[in-house]
Structure 1
C-alpha cells in the first residue's frame, strides 16, 4: 500500500494512470461543508473503489 496526493481542478476532477492490477481507493477527505455535528467534530469524506485488471 501507499499514499499519493492528487490535485484537482476547480471542478474537483483529476486524472490518474493506474500502474498495476488490484484495488485502488480514491478518497476525498473533508469534502463536505460541515465541520461539526451535534457539538462534535465531523469530517465528511468519500471513497471511490476501482478494481483494475491486467490487460
Structure 2
C-alpha cells in the first residue's frame, strides 16, 4: 500500500474528502441529475486501464 501524507484522514478514496464534498444534484419535475464536481471522479466511477471501477454512484454504469 502506498503511504499517505500525515495531513490526510488515511481513508482509501477519501483522503481529503474532495470527492464526497463535490457531490451535487439538480432536479426538476421530470428528472434528477446526480454527479461529482471533481473531474477525476469519472476515473473512479468508470475505471481505467490500470485501476478497477470503484462504483461511486452506480452498481453497473454500463446499463
Q: TM-score, normalised by structure 2?
A: 0.25
Higher helix share: 2
Higher strand share: 1
Q: TM-score, normalised by structure 1?
A: 0.27
